[in-house]
Amino acid sequence: MRLPEAIKVLRANTMACWWPESGMSGTDLAGVFWEARLLTGEIKRRQDIPPNTPFFVLDDDNPETALYNELVSAVLTVRQCMAVS
């Protein structure tokens, strides 16, 4: 996943502050990551996966699995880009 796509996924699925389009500075990335973590945790919970399970397989027939994969990929992409810059 590329950075613009990752940002689009996170903007569509989180309600944390994204200041740059309003002319202000300081996007709340900690809030965005926290909210994405809560969302992915709830998806795992609804699929009966304990929270601290290190390895698991999500149900491919469940539509939330695609959202889980998108959110995790988006967070990893943004974090990688932040580490490089």
Q: What percent of the chain has pLDDT over 70?
A: 87
Residue of 57, 54, 58 whose CA lies nearest to 67:
58
Q: How far is CA 75 from the centre of its chain?
A: 5
Instruction: Output the pLDDT for position 46.
Output: 94
This prediction has a pTM of 0.82
pLDDT at 43: 95
Asked if the model's pLDDT at residue 75 lies above 90, the reply is yes
Whose structure tokens read 């994405």? 36
In whole angstroms, give the CA distance from residue 34 to residue 63: 22
Quickly count: other Cβ atoms within 10 Å of residue 32's Cβ. 22
* Structure token digits, residue 6: 């990752």
Q: 12-64: per-residue pLDDT in tens?
A: 998 876 655 555 566 778 889 999 999 999 999 999 999 888 899 999 999 99
